[in-house]
Amino acid sequence: MIPPDTTSKEPSQMSTAREQSEQAEATPDRSGSVESRPGRGIKVRGLNAYYGKQHAIKGVDIDFPANQVTAIIGPSGSGKSTVVRCINRMHEEIPGARADGSVTLDESDVYAPDVDVTAVRRVIGMVFQKPNPFPTMSIYDNVAAGLRLTGTKPHNLRETVNTTLRAVGLWDEVKDRLNEPGVGLSGGQQQRLCIARTVAVSPEVILMDEPCSALDPIATLKVEELIDELKARYTIVIVTHNMQQAARVADSTVFMLDGEVIEHAPTNDLFTKPKDERTERYVTGKFG
Amino acid sequence: MSVFSEAAVSPRRRRTDRLMRVALVAATILALIPLVLVIYYLLKEGLGSINKAFFTQDPSGSFFGAVGGVRSAILGSLEIVLLATLISVPIGIGVALFLTEYGKDSKFANVVRYFVDVMTGVPSIVFGLFIYISLVLTHVGGNFTAWKASVALALLMLPIVIRSSEVVLLLVPASLREGALALGAPRWQVIFRVVLPSARTGLVTGSLLAVARGMGETAPLLFTTAGAAGLTFSLSGQMNALPLQIYNDILSPRAAVVAQAWAAGLTLVAIVLILNLVARAVSRRSRMA
C-alpha cells in the first residue's frame, strides 16, 4: 500500500502543491476563472469508522475521480460526514474515534504510518458546514492563514491572497476592506472566504461538509457556481442534505444509509433510474 | 369581560411576584452595604494621610517625628506581584491549554483539575508556611527574600489563573480549531495563532483577577519576605509590601501611623482598580483592531 514516494519525509503531494502555488504566482493576471489542471483522485477501500463502540462506517468502498464533483447524500446519521472526515483524517480529532481500512490519494496511503497527518490535511482541504473564519484575523489574514499556519512561504503572499480571492469571486466585494475582520462579512461571503482559505494552500482535493446548509439560496447559488469552477483544478467531495444541490453540482452521487454505501452512480442515473429500491425511496422523498 | 382579563394571572400570583421582587432587591442592597462601607471608611480614614510625602518617602519607623510615607511598600508590592505574575500566568495558561487542548477528559486531566480545585481552597497562610519550610528554613539563596514571597504568591495565584483560563479557552469554538487543523496546521500553531488570540481578552481578565488576589495577601509575605522599611529593588533581600505595611501600622499606638495604614489600604484598592481599568482598555482596543 505504501508507494515509494511517501517514504521520504515530505510526501510527494506536498512538493507538488508547492510547485503549483508557484505556478499560480507566475500568472497573476488571471481573474475569476480557475486554471484547469489534472488532479488526483481518491480511493476508499474497506473503510470502517467508530465512535467509541458505535460502528459508524461499515466497510465502505468509494472512488472519487479526479477533477470531478462527487456528492454524498443520505439521511442524518448515515455516516456521510464521517466518511469525509476520514479522508483527511479529521475523524481522529474526536476523542474516542478511530478508523481502519484504506484511503489513498493517487496511490499514496493517507493512513500510512510514516505519513504526517498535517501533510495529509494540507493536500486534502476541508470546508465546514458553518462558515468558520478566524475571528481575530482580517479578511486578508484569513486567506493567508493556511499558508502562515503551515509555515509555507510563497514568493509573494499578497499576490497569492489576491489571486485566491479572485478565484473564489470575492475580490470585487472585499478589495477595499481587506484589513477588516473576516467575521464582518455576510454568511455567504464568509463561506467563500473559508473556501479561499482552503484553496490558498493549493490542495489536491477539497472536501465540503454541507457547505451551504447555513446559507440563503442566493449565497448557495454562488457557492455552487464556485464549486463548478473549482473542479477544473481540484477533486471535490461534497456532503449535502439537499438533493437538488447534488443534482446541480455533482458528476456522480453516492447514496449512503446506516454507514453503508447503497449506490454510487452518475448523478443523473442515480436520480432518474436508481438500481436499489432504498435509493429510489430516498430520492423520491418516501423516507429520510 | 375582555379576553385579557380572563387570561390575566390571579391576584395571589401577582402578589407573590411582587413579594419576590422586593426580596431580591433587598438582598442585593444588603450585599452592597458592606461594599460601600469598606470604600467609605477607606476614603474617610485614609484620604487625610495621602500627600506628597506618602508617595515619596519610606516609613520612618521612628516613634517620634514624621511618620514618612509608604513608597517602599508600594514599589515592593508591585515588584513582588510582578514576579509572581511572571511565574504564575505562563504556567497557569500552559496548564489550562494542556487541559483544554490535550488532556480533555482523560483521567490525568481530571486528576489535575481536582488538584487545582483543592489548591484554590488552600488558605494563603499555608502557602506562606510551605515556602517558609521549603525555602526560608533551608536558606536557599538567603533567609527572608522578596523572590520567595513571589513564589508563595505565585502558588496562590496559579489555581486561579488555571481555572479562569480553562473556562475562557473552552469558550473558543471547536469549529475554529477544526478549521485550523483542517488547513494542515500543527497543533502548536493552532494554539498560538488561533486559540490564544481568540481567548486573549478573557485570559487577561482572569490573570488580573489573580493579580488582584495576590496583591492583597498578607500571610504568604509574613514568613517569606518579612518586610523592611527602606526602599530596595533587590528581590534577593527583604522587601516591604503594602499588606505588610498595613499589618504593622494598624497596631501602632500613634494615630498618624494608623491613619497611614488606612491610606495604604486605599492605595492597594486603587492599584487593583487601575490595573483593572488598564486591562479592560487594552483588551477592548485589541478586539476592535
Mean pLDDT rounded to a whole number for chain B = 88
* pLDDT, tens digit (0-9, with 9 covering 90-100), for B149-174: 999 999 999 999 999 999 999 999 99
Mean pLDDT along residues A272-281: 92
Mean pLDDT along residues B73-84: 92
Mean pLDDT along residues A149-157: 85
CA–CA separation, A17 and A6 (whole Å): 14
CA–CA separation, B287 and B289 (whole Å): 6
Cβ atoms of B249 and B127 within 8 Å: the answer is no
DSSP state of B230: S
CA–CA separation, A274 and A263 (whole Å): 8
Cβ atoms of A86 and A105 within 8 Å: the answer is no
Q: What backbone torsions phi and psi does residue B161 show, to the nearest 5 degrees?
A: -65, -45
Q: Do A126 and B182 touch (CB under 8 A)?
A: yes
CA–CA separation, A156 and A172 (whole Å): 20
Cβ atoms of B183 and A121 within 8 Å: the answer is yes
**In this prediction, what percent of chain A has a pLDDT beyond 70?**
87
What residues of chain B lie within 8 A of the CB of A194, using their CB? 179
CA–CA separation, A171 and B249 (whole Å): 68
What residues of chain A lie within 8 A of the CB of B200, using their CB? 136
Q: Which residues contact A257 (CB under 8 A, 6 or more apart)?
A: A74, A75, A78, A278, A282
State yes or no: pLDDT of A133 exceeds 90: yes
> Does B77 map to a domain?
yes
Residue B106 is part of which domain span? Answer: 72-288
Cβ atoms of A94 and A50 within 8 Å: the answer is no
Q: Do A149 and B175 touch (CB under 8 A)?
A: no
**Residue A141: C-alpha distances to residues A146, A148, B169 (Å):** 9, 9, 22
CA–CA separation, B17 and B19 (whole Å): 5
* pLDDT, tens digit (0-9, with 9 covering 90-100), for B216-254: 888 888 888 877 777 777 787 888 888 888 888 888 888
Distance from CA of B185 to the nearest CA of A (A): 5
State yes or no: pLDDT of A10 exceeds 80: no
Q: pLDDT band at residue A285, thresholds of 50, 70 and 90? A: confident
Q: Do A132 and B185 touch (CB under 8 A)?
A: no
> Does B119 map to a domain?
yes
Q: pLDDT band at residue B288, thresholds of 50, 70 and 90? A: very low
Cβ atoms of A204 and A13 within 8 Å: the answer is yes
CA–CA separation, B172 and B201 (whole Å): 12
Q: In what order do the strands lie in the sheet with A252-257?
A: A124-127, A205-209, A235-239, A69-73, A252-257, A260-266
Q: Residue A271 CA to chain centroid, in angstroms? A: 23
H/E element, A109: strand A108-109
State whether residue B189 sits within 8 Å of chain A by CB.
yes
CA–CA separation, A77 and B157 (whole Å): 46
Quote ipTM for the complex: 0.82
* pLDDT, tens digit (0-9, with 9 covering 90-100), for A172-203: 999 999 999 999 999 999 999 999 999 999 89
CA–CA separation, A110 and A120 (whole Å): 6
Cell triple for A29: 493576471
Q: Of A211 and B53, which is predicted with more confidence?
A: A211
State yes or no: pLDDT of A129 exceeds 80: yes
Report the relative pairing of strands A108-109 and A124-127 from DSSP bridges. unpaired
* pLDDT, tens digit (0-9, with 9 covering 90-100), for B128-138: 999 999 888 88
State yes or no: pLDDT of A71 exceeds 80: yes
> Does B103 map to a domain?
yes
Q: Do A149 and B183 touch (CB under 8 A)?
A: yes
**Considering the entire predicted model, what is its pTM?**
0.81
Distance from CA of A134 to the nearest CA of B (A): 6
Amino acid found at A209: D
Cβ atoms of B231 and B72 within 8 Å: the answer is yes
Mean pLDDT rounded to a whole number for chain A = 86
What CATH number does the domain containing B252 carry? Answer: 1.10.3720.10
Amino acid found at A180: E
State whether residue B110 sits within 8 Å of chain A by CB.
no
Q: Which residues contact A278 (CB under 8 A, 6 or more apart)?
A: A255, A257, A262
pLDDT score at A7: 39
What residues of chain A lie within 8 A of the CB of B190, using their CB? 149
Q: Do A132 and B105 touch (CB under 8 A)?
A: no
Number of domains in chain B: 1
Q: Which residue in the set A93, A95, A134 is minimally distant from B181, CB to CB?
A: A93
Report the relative pairing of strands A108-109 and A97-105 from DSSP bridges. antiparallel
Enumerate domains of chain A plus CATH numbers.
4-283 (3.40.50.300)
- Closest residue in A to B186 (Cα–Cα): A118
Mean pLDDT along residues A259-272: 94
Interface list for A 176-215 with B (CB within 8 A): 194, 197-198, 201
Return the number of CB contacts < 8 Å for A and B.
73
CA–CA separation, B79 and B11 (whole Å): 62
State yes or no: pLDDT of A5 exceeds 50: no
Q: pLDDT band at residue B287, thresholds of 50, 70 and 90? A: low
What residues of chain B lie within 8 A of the CB of A125, using their CB? 182-183
Q: What backbone torsions phi and psi does residue B187 show, to the nearest 5 degrees?
A: -60, -35
pLDDT score at A152: 83
> Does B43 map to a domain?
no
